Amino acid sequence: MDGADGEDRVTTKPIVLELPFRGRWLARNSPARRVPSHGTHALGTTYAIDFIAVDEHGRSAPSNWRSWLSVEPPESFVGFGRPILAPIAGTVVAAHDGEEDHEARRSQLTLVPYMLGQAGRLRAGPDAIAGNHVILALGPGGPYVALVHLRRGSVRVAVGDVVEVGDVLGECGNSGNSTQPHVHVQAADSLDWSSATGLPIAFRFRRAMAQNGDVVGLPRESEIVEPPSSADRPV
């Protein structure tokens, strides 16, 4: 995989994950579009991806005057409170809860003060950026898979728990560095986020509304995906 500027050619085999949710979700900040996917290599986010739950019309929340001019309650979004599942078997090495769920911001007017607060969140450290989160170790020394921006009070696992694919880890929230409820997924080689290197990931998924659309790979930017038909998970 090459980045948009021709850099960052990946030769490492990606870690293949199941989708950490049921239903239909929209991919954003996909490494299929560019690397680094979020515009930075910091905090091991080189190959991170975001997923936003959507309804049958592809909307994350109803549109109204607030979505254009104001902040919105996170509860009005399709994904808020949806179960977030373990995408791979592993051992819980971090389980952080207690960060608040922010009001959502789809309006460009409300994004300005949010961006002005970015430096403060960075100074506050990884928990202020990740919000409520769970990190799984795939082996004694990693690699590590993180699921980030969970709902306050929803984390259901503790450090040392061994989880299997599909176990509920928490719920989708809007904590940390997040402008609307979504789940951020990334893999890295270390728990030292100041020096962690992001690792490539891929997913087993189905392209929503596609015939024979089961895929192993990366969702495209703004592609709507759902668990593969072989997953046999009720929606």
Q: Give the rounded percent of residues in the chain with a pLDDT score beyond 70.
A: 82
Look up the domain containing 201 and give its range: 15-229
3-state class of 119 per DSSP? helix
Asked, for residue 8, whether it belongs to a domain, the answer is: no
The pLDDT value given to residue 209: 74
Amino acid type, 96: H
**Residues ≥6 apart with Cβ < 8 Å to 125:** none
Asked, for residue 9, whether it belongs to a domain, the answer is: no
Among 54, 105, 49, which residue's Cα sits nearest to residue 79? 54
Vertex 153, ends 21 and 159: CA angle to 5°?
75
Asked, for residue 71, whether it belongs to a domain, the answer is: yes
**Burial class, 198, CB count within 10 angstroms (exposed 0-12 / middle 13-18 / buried 19+):** buried
The pLDDT value given to residue 126: 80
Residues pairing with 12 in the sheet: none
The pLDDT value given to residue 1: 39
Asked, for residue 3, whether it belongs to a domain, the answer is: no
Asked, for residue 1, whether it belongs to a domain, the answer is: no
Q: What is the mean pLDDT of the chain?
A: 88
Asked, for residue 89, whether it belongs to a domain, the answer is: yes
- Indicate which CATH number applies to the domain containing 102: 2.70.70.10
Asked, for residue 5, whether it belongs to a domain, the answer is: no
For residue range 184-231, list pLDDT tens digits in order: 999 999 999 989 999 999 999 999 877 667 999 999 999 999 999 766
Beta strands 168-171 and 132-137: pairing type? unpaired
Q: Does 3 have pLDDT greater than 80?
A: no
The pLDDT value given to residue 218: 97
The pLDDT value given to residue 8: 44
Helix, strand and coil content of the chain, in percent to the nearest 5, comes to: 15, 30, 55
Beta strands in 22-116 (DSSP E): 25-28, 49-53, 83-85, 90-96
pTM of the model: 0.89
Among 183, 218, 184, 215, which residue's Cα sits nearest to residue 200? 218
Least confident of 7-16, 33-42, 94-103, 166-175: 7-16
Of residues 141 and 120, the one with the higher pLDDT is: 141
Of residues 44 and 230, the one with the higher pLDDT is: 44
Give the residue carrying structure tokens 């960060």. Answer: 99
Q: Does 235 have pLDDT greater than 50?
A: no
The pLDDT value given to residue 68: 58
For residue range 90-139, list pLDDT tens digits in order: 999 999 999 999 998 876 666 666 666 666 666 667 888 999 999 999 99
Q: Does 234 have pLDDT greater than 50?
A: no
d(CA 19, CA 52): 12
Q: Mean pLDDT, to the nearest integer, of 151-177?
A: 97
The pLDDT value given to residue 117: 64
Asked, for residue 4, whether it belongs to a domain, the answer is: no
**Burial class, 69, CB count within 10 angstroms (exposed 0-12 / middle 13-18 / buried 19+):** exposed
Grade residue 12 by pLDDT with cuts at 50, 70 and 90. Answer: confident
Among 202, 211, 209, 205, which residue's Cα sits nearest to residue 233? 205
How many domains does the chain contain in total? Answer: 1
Q: Does 41 have pLDDT greater than 70?
A: yes
Rg (Cα) of the chain, in Å, rounded?
A: 17
